[in-house]
Amino acid sequence: MKEPAARLRAAVLGTGKIGMDLAERLSKSGVLECALIVGRAPTSPGLHRAAELGLTTMAGGITTFVEAQERFDVVFDASNAAVHTAHWDALAATGAVLVDLTPSSTGTHVVPTVNGDQAARASRHFNMISCGGQTAIPVLHAIATTCAPTYAEVVATAATASTGRGTRLNIDEYIATTQAAVRELTGAPRVKALLNLSPAQPEPPFRVQVTVLAPDARPEPVRAAVQAAADRVRAFAPAYTVTSCTVAGERIDVALEITAHSSHIPAYAGNLDIINAAAVHTAERAAALTREGAALWTR
């Protein structure tokens, strides 16, 4: 009987909600294992929680991580956009695949159901865009296969409690990166992205409203394409839900909602759930292609 392939070693940079949820997801992966959690300060609550869970931890951030000269197949960057470029510069020579969960827009923009396989064959530096981008772009891309959008709008609403300091510091980058990725992956010439942080109690689930203008929109093809796109996303993010889809003349409106299922993030933090699910799925696919000898890392 053929022995199962060894799981590939993954490291997570960042000890916040995203980093801890990534560690949990990796513990359930048949392809990757969480071999290290890296934080900046030794007093980080996240590092302490990770150690309690039996995970190997390291303080000192990217400098200590690189100096340790340990080999990792995949590194997930769950820090912030301002430092991601320095992280890539430090890690590029190691040969590790880098999966960027910040809106830095410095790697290959990846949405698994849109360009996941193509990106995995051509790059080892992936940018997961944003939570809003991962939610909206599968639907926007599907709509664009049925008509020719002239305008696309993405309005995401997340509970304030589900966003950390890094997200709030990166709102400008979030908007710019989301807009750039929507243009790139849907072909819409005019794009607007907005992010609302809601302090409401109880906390609302993560919701994304997509609006498209397309003179040649037809209701039935649009609805069928949207549902098919949602089904593909649910293969790795089961809580991805289309709550409404309407087509009136040239205007298309789609409402999307995601709840989280994790011991490290609350149910309303669907924004964290979708980007982490997409990141792990992308890394697993890249690893599988590498094992098959189908990937050629060129960037």
**Helix and strand numbers, DSSP H then E, in the chain:** 10, 12
Q: Tens of pLDDT along 232-258?
A: 999 999 999 999 999 999 999 999 999
Instruction: Quick: pLDDT tens for 63-103.
Output: 999 999 899 999 999 998 999 999 999 999 888 999 999 99
> How confident is residue 299, by pLDDT bands cut at 50, 70 and 90?
very low
57-58 β-sheet, strand order: 57-58, 32-38, 8-13, 74-77, 97-100, 125-127, 108-109
User: Known catalytic residues?
Assistant: 131
According to DSSP, the residues that pair with 67 across neighbouring strands are none
Q: How much of the chain, in percent, has pLDDT values that exceed 90? A: 79
**Residue 296: is its pLDDT beyond 70?**
no
For 142, the token pair is 């599907």
User: pLDDT digits over 193-228, tens only?
Assistant: 999 999 999 999 999 999 999 999 999 999 999 999
Which pTM value belongs to this model?
A: 0.93
Name which of 39-48, 141-150, 173-182, 232-241 the model is least confident about.
Answer: 39-48
